């Protein structure tokens, strides 16, 4: 039987113990990674459409992008849709518009944030807000 030098024996036993520890670490890493509030490199967009009885709804979405860091993409931890509505109040000659800005709920990348204009209002604008 061929004997390995002492240094090689130690490195082999170190590799074996590190491999045993690595399996335990691999199992515990996903739970700690999902609990962290880190920001993601994402591609974000917002859109608006008419739903129901002509009520406008704004939607914000951010999709995580994998791979190496790209300067044109943002690092975002949360996003939300914002909608500006022109509410129509009064009747006949006393009809007037009241501008209202409504914010959707903060969502993490991969989830959609939605917000609707109230009844008897029209869409004046929409956009997206993000947090790092």
Once rounded to an integer, what is the mean pLDDT over residues 5-16? 42
**Domain count of the fold of the chain:** 1
- Domain range for 107 is 38-131
For 62-119, write each residue's pLDDT tens digit: 888 877 777 777 788 899 999 999 998 888 888 899 999 999 999 998 899 999 998 8
Q: Annotate 112-126 with DSSP letters as a single string.
A: EEEEEPPSSEEEEEE
Cα dihedral angle (18, 19, 23, 29), rounded to 10 degrees?
50
For 28-72, write each residue's pLDDT tens digit: 223 323 333 466 678 889 999 998 888 899 999 988 887 777 777
- How far is the C-alpha of 24 from the C-alpha of 17, rounded, in Å? 11
- Please indicate, yes or no, if residue 22 is contained in any of the structural domains: no
State the average pLDDT for the chain: 73
pLDDT at 99: 94
Question: Model-level pTM greater than 0.75?
Answer: no
- Please indicate, yes or no, if residue 94 is contained in any of the structural domains: yes
């Amino acid at each position: 039987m061929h004997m390995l030098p002492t240094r090689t024996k130690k490195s082999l036993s170190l590799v074996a113990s590190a491999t045993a520890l690595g399996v335990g670490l691999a199992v515990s890493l996903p739970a700690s990674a999902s609990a962290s509030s880190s920001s993601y490199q994402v591609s974000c967009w917002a859109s608006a459409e008419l739903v129901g009885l002509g009520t406008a709804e704004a939607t914000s979405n951010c999709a995580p992008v994998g791979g190496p860091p790209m300067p044109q993409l943002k690092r975002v931890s949360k996003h939300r849709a914002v909608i500006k509505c022109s509410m129509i109040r009064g009747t006949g000659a006393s009809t007037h518009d009241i501008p209202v800005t409504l914010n959707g709920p903060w969502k993490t990348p991969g989830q959609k944030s939605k917000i609707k204009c109230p009844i008897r209002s029209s869409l004046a604008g929409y956009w997206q807000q993000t947090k790092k």
